[in-house]
Amino acid sequence: QVQVVESGGGLVQAGGSLRLSCVTSGRTFSHYAMAWFRQGPGKEREFVATISGSGDYTYHTDSVKGRFAISRDNAKNTVYLQMNSLKPEDTAVYYCAASRATTRAMAFTPSDVVDAWGQGTQVTVSS
């Protein structure tokens, strides 16, 4: 069973940057599509970005396009989320997820396909 552990959250001023990391256990990391989700105060968890197992395909939700970038290093079993031009509305707990399903399924039906969720890392953006 794959396990995922996030890190890199923290407090940052609006306009600043953070890079989240997610390390995954196991020897078949490249077989997993990976994704980031977030849950803001009083909100439901929402999709942020996903990346294919090879890293060739990425998809970001509209609210973060041009500001956030998902990437992965399969040699290190790690997926990243580079977050630039952060806004107070980006404040949330960010979760990493792994799935053997497609990136499309990860983006639109995560509850059906995610194999493992991380514990989350808090990102707070002050105005």
Q: What is the 3-state secondary structure (H, E, C) of 47-61?
A: EEEEECCCCCCEEEC
Share of the chain above pLDDT 70, in %: 100
Mean pLDDT of the chain: 96
Is the pLDDT at 41 greater than 90? The verdict is: yes
At 26, the pLDDT band (50, 70, 90 cuts) reads confident
At 1, the pLDDT band (50, 70, 90 cuts) reads confident
- The candidate with the shortest Cα–Cα distance to 2, out of 121, 96, 104, is 96
Tens of pLDDT, residues 64-120: 999 999 999 999 999 999 999 999 999 999 999 999 999 999 999 999 999 999 999
Q: Please give the residue that has the higher pLDDT: either 1 or 80.
A: 80
Q: What pLDDT is recorded for position 14?
A: 98
∠ CA 29-30-31, nearest 5°, is 90
